[in-house]
Structure 1
Amino acid sequence: MKTPCLILSKITRSFSSAIVKLEKNMSEKTYEDALAALNDLQSNAQYIRDAGKSNILKQVANKPEVLTYLQRTGLNVKDLDKLKVVHVTGTNGKGSTCAYTEQILRNHGCKTGFFSSPHLLEVRERIRINGKPISKTEFTHYFWKIHDLLTNNKENFTDMPMYFRFMTILAFHIFLGNKIDVAILEVGIGGEYDCTNIVKKTLVVGITPLDLDHMSLLGDSLESIAWHKAGIMKEGCTALTVPQPLNVFRIFKERSIEKKCTLNVVDCDYYGGNDRIPLNVCKTNASLALALAEAFLNKDENRNFKKFDFDLAKKSIGITYWPGRYEIKPHQNHTFYLDGAHTLDSCRVCRDWFVSHVNNSKKKRCLIFNLTRDRRADVFFRELLTCDFDVAIFIPNVGSNNDKPDTADFLCPADKQLVQCEANKKLWLEMEGNRSKKVEIALVLPSFEKTVEFLNRTGEYDSLVTGSIHLIGAALSILDPNLGGTLKDD
């Protein structure tokens, strides 16, 4: 009988030889090959779809399966303890809250790693070092190292992590390889069973405003959603949230006691205003980000960084660029207002933001809309009808015929989305009913590029682009294909 030491030695030698073999093969594989291989994996959207057809056991299995795959790539959960983590969940604004927090901490001297989802144009946007998406070279190197290790250790043909799981594992490898000072992790879906929640030691937790979303996975009540979101709390961490409904806060409080951590509510007047984005968004996302950064820097183990400076932190928020959220893009004779509002509350904020900017404009108003998955368009249309649009255009999440493979959607391809676009157009016209102000034109077009061509032929427009964050990516592929220069590959 072999001793445990001999078995461990054999596994170690096998793993080392696999690494050597992989390093030889990786040089032959390109960034484009990596994108093709990534798109072959099931996406996070598939997980959402399947979860609605199964029971809680599928969700519970999520983290253990991620840990199994992580170990196959040479890491274990204790390796993740080396990361100092700021973990953020919620329904509305968690991405921008993370972006603000990252900018503040970077300006206080921290080397930052930031994991977010989804991406707009290129998948490497999801993993950032010091605020910049990782380069294509670095993405390619780490991707093939991890992909090949997972492939070589499969137990059966389908034994590979889904898209989001793979990206989570990839992010942890890149963060550890870059020896970052702080990892800002944006939860994918929920919290308790989310892939990112495999970390055991979290210093600071943030929870943004809650709303009804992903109900097939998280439950159809705010209390159920709150339970899931609060699952990222860890023993000894500082948990921060913004004002929430009483029933939500009660769940947060109960879970903080269960998790043995402190829970505090952030004063939304902590941050003032900003002309670029709606005041209430500033008062929530920015105030929470300020508090998260302050709590992180005040931890005893982080005293080697700059002392929290409120003026520097507020200035950091003012220069943060987080594309596709309350973004205004002049283009040719038009002005496009882009926001990936995906819940009722965020749609209302988006509507008010748009109207406040175009009230005195003489241009026509156009809605450019798409909605996929299980969200109900009628909920959005009740709010958007009050904008008095002249034109309503429904398009799939397609920029043009030259879209990057990073944005390919094999679960809900463009032809399937077009069917839904036709249904949304019909629903919009039905909901206009006896309104005195109706659209002059409602139509379905195949891409954002074709939409711009139509607008050019018919006048000058203030156009609101909303409904899906992936639609925002499609629009930016035409309006700003380098995302303000952030996608320039060094």
Structure 2
Amino acid sequence: MKHSRPLARQWYRAINSFFSSELFRVQATCRWCSHRVAEVPSSHVFKKQALCDKTYDEAVLALNSLQSNAAQIEAKRQQNKKQSDNLKLMTRSLSQVGVTLDQLNGINIVHITGTKGKGSTAALTESILRQHGYKTGFYSSPHLVEVRERIRLQGFPISQEMFGSYFWKVYDALSSQLEEGEQLPFYFKFLTLMAFKVRHDQRDHSAPSVRHHLSRHRPHIAAGQHNRRDLVAKGRHHEVHVSTVSVPQPGAALHVLQECAQEVRAPLFEAPPFDARQRISDTLPHLDVQQKNASLAVQLSRIFMERQADRRKWTTPTHGRCTLPLVCLSSQYMQGLEKCKWPGRFHKTEREGVTYYVDGAHTSDSIGEAFKWFRQQSTREKQRLEAANKETRTILMFNRTGE
């Protein structure tokens, strides 16, 4: 939204300066820089070099060669239809990079799945735990600018040097053990393996781990927001005796979650909305979805910390709807919510007379929530500017990938 000056005037300069501004900063000390992505055929073979000679840019180039199109993904799904087959392949790949399932099961995991709000909930949970003194690791998908954003330690993306080093460790280990006719794992699976490797090697420096993709091993706490379309698939991610927390669901959706939880004897809890007396709206945007994300993050953090003191807590199977009590929001909880950095989600920033409303929504539900937020915020700003007799215009910029 721009006012007063002709829209074309200095437009490109404003756009370029914005995309090198605070949107791409995690904190003042951590600058995210964009990189050029070259197209490389999937059959491309990278020349063997000494590990220290391989750069971050080369790692990104090699990783992009593992991108898969829709046809390849479908063929792979047909080849590995059974979940047990996928788990066997993942276990084998983990072993090849030096990580065992026993080692993974020793990691404290908060796993978040669902239709929308996974990233925001994970970021809020991780921020709250750090404010309580925990050292954390974080794995997410997708990224906004640089792929290394997906793997974080103590709230920051791992460095280019660390990313490059771990990428080539995993790449070389898997490449050297490929059987005839085998391919390297596709992009997402490769990064998942790499994240496990980082987490394993950095285990003394980053516990617990917060993740919001589909898990391959047993989490200690699970959470989710679901719609009816994906409940049958994602509801099955309940694990035996793993504390599971959900935001309030419609009757049919709740019934599916309860069935899945009872099947594996996992305790299922519901995170209640914030009470008005908690004044959470003073901290977070006046948006229903973010309120739900925050209430879920608060409950997940509380259960995680209480289970660290007593592993037997929150493990008794539940029957029917079991709503958790409200958490007293101490200063650590409030600071975790206030200081949480999740760029590109409900992100508003001003630069050179232009107000940018940025959101990285990538599902139809998330796009709907982003629109509600934009309409609310932009309407207020338009009214303020027009009251000052200033001209306003609205321009939509978007990026579309896939079909």
Scaled by the length of structure 1, what TM-score is found? Answer: 0.62
Asked if the contact 2:96–2:174 (Cα under 8 Å) also holds between the matched residues in 1, the reply is yes
Return the letter of the residue paired with 1:338: V
Shift of 1:301: 4.7
Asked if the contact 1:124–1:139 (Cα under 8 Å) also holds between the matched residues in 2, the reply is yes
Greater relative CO (CA pairs within 8 A, separation 6+): 2
Return the letter of the residue paired with 1:185: R
Q: Is residue 182 from structure 1 mapped to residue 205 from structure 2 by the alignment?
A: no
Return the letter of the residue paired with 1:27: C
Asked if the contact 2:51–2:165 (Cα under 8 Å) also holds between the matched residues in 1, the reply is yes
| Structure 2 Cα separation of the partners of residues 336 and 59 of structure 1 | 43
Q: After superposition, what is the alpha-carbon deviation per residue over 1:194-235, rounded to whole angstroms, capped at 9, x for unaligned?
A: 4xx2213x2111102x24xxxxxxxxxx25x11222233211
Task: Look up the SS of the partner of 2:397 in the other structure.
Answer: strand
1:63-462 to 2 correspondences below 5 Å: 63-156=87-180, 158-179=182-203, 180-187=206-213, 194=214, 197-200=215-218, 202-208=219-225, 210-211=226-227, 222=228, 225-269=230-274, 272-274=280-282, 277-301=285-309, 310-359=330-379, 360=383, 361-362=385-386, 363-374=392-403
Task: Look up the SS of the partner of 1:273 in the other structure.
Answer: helix
Asked if the contact 1:51–1:58 (Cα under 8 Å) also holds between the matched residues in 2, the reply is no
Shift of 1:277: 2.5
Q: After superposition, what is the alpha-carbon deviation per residue over 1:170-196, rounded to whole angstroms, capped at 9, x for unaligned?
A: 111111111122111111xxxxxx4xx
| Structure 2 Cα separation of the partners of residues 72 and 280 of structure 1 | 44
Return the letter of the residue paired with 1:170: M
Shift of 1:100: 0.3
| Structure 2 Cα separation of the partners of residues 302 and 24 of structure 1 | 49
| Structure 2 Cα separation of the partners of residues 74 and 174 of structure 1 | 11
Asked if the contact 2:109–2:209 (Cα under 8 Å) also holds between the matched residues in 1, the reply is yes
Asked if the contact 2:283–2:338 (Cα under 8 Å) also holds between the matched residues in 1, the reply is no
Asked if the contact 2:284–2:291 (Cα under 8 Å) also holds between the matched residues in 1, the reply is no
Shift of 1:242: 0.3
| Structure 2 Cα separation of the partners of residues 280 and 300 of structure 1 | 31
Tell me which residue corresponds to 2:317: none
In structure 1, stretches of 5+ residues that fail to align are 1-22, 188-193, 212-221, 375-490
**Cα distance change of structure 1 residues 300 and 120 upon mapping to structure 2, 3 Å threshold:** closer
Task: Look up the SS of the partner of 2:252 in the other structure.
Answer: helix
Q: CA RMSD in A?
A: 2.6
Which aligned runs of 4 or more in structure 1 are off by greater than 6 angstroms?
A: none
| Structure 1 Cα separation of the partners of residues 396 and 75 of structure 2 | 32
| Structure 2 Cα separation of the partners of residues 47 and 264 of structure 1 | 39
Asked if the contact 2:110–2:221 (Cα under 8 Å) also holds between the matched residues in 1, the reply is yes
Tell me which residue corresponds to 1:215: none
Q: After superposition, what is the alpha-carbon deviation per residue over 1:336-364, rounded to whole angstroms, capped at 9, x for unaligned?
A: 10112334433332222212222214411
Q: After superposition, what is the alpha-carbon deviation per residue over 1:429-483, rounded to whole angstroms, capped at 9, x for unaligned?
A: xxxxxxxxxxxxxxxxxxxxxxxxxxxxxxxxxxxxxxxxxxxxxxxxxxxxxxx
> Please, which of 42, 57, 62 is the counterpart of residue 37 of structure 1?
62
Return the letter of the residue paired with 2:176: N
**Cα distance change of structure 1 residues 348 and 40 upon mapping to structure 2, 3 Å threshold:** closer
Q: After superposition, what is the alpha-carbon deviation per residue over 1:276-305, rounded to whole angstroms, capped at 9, x for unaligned?
A: 5243123210000000000100104579xx
**Cα distance change of structure 1 residues 338 and 266 upon mapping to structure 2, 3 Å threshold:** same
Shift of 1:275: 5.9
Return the letter of the residue paired with 1:78: D
**Cα distance change of structure 1 residues 346 and 274 upon mapping to structure 2, 3 Å threshold:** farther
| Structure 2 Cα separation of the partners of residues 111 and 37 of structure 1 | 31
In structure 2, stretches of 5+ residues that fail to align are 1-47, 312-326, 387-391
**Cα distance change of structure 1 residues 335 and 47 upon mapping to structure 2, 3 Å threshold:** farther
Scaled by the length of structure 2, what TM-score is found? Answer: 0.75
Asked if the contact 1:294–1:308 (Cα under 8 Å) also holds between the matched residues in 2, the reply is no
Return the letter of the residue paired with 1:177: D
* Count of residue correspondences: 327
Task: Look up the SS of the partner of 1:358 in the other structure.
Answer: helix
| Structure 2 Cα separation of the partners of residues 371 and 53 of structure 1 | 24
**Cα distance change of structure 1 residues 121 and 347 upon mapping to structure 2, 3 Å threshold:** closer
Shift of 1:124: 0.7
Identity of aligned residues (%): 33
Return the letter of the residue paired with 2:93: Y
Tell me whether 309-318 or 232-241 shows the greater mean CA deviation.
309-318
Asked if the contact 2:144–2:360 (Cα under 8 Å) also holds between the matched residues in 1, the reply is no
Task: Look up the SS of the partner of 1:368 in the other structure.
Answer: coil
Tell me whether 335-344 or 111-120 shows the greater mean CA deviation.
335-344
Shift of 1:51: 6.6
| Structure 2 Cα separation of the partners of residues 198 and 168 of structure 1 | 9
Q: After superposition, what is the alpha-carbon deviation per residue over 1:398-444, rounded to whole angstroms, capped at 9, x for unaligned?
A: xxxxxxxxxxxxxxxxxxxxxxxxxxxxxxxxxxxxxxxxxxxxxxx
Q: After superposition, what is the alpha-carbon deviation per residue over 1:122-181, rounded to whole angstroms, capped at 9, x for unaligned?
A: 111000001010111111221111110100000035421111111111111111111122
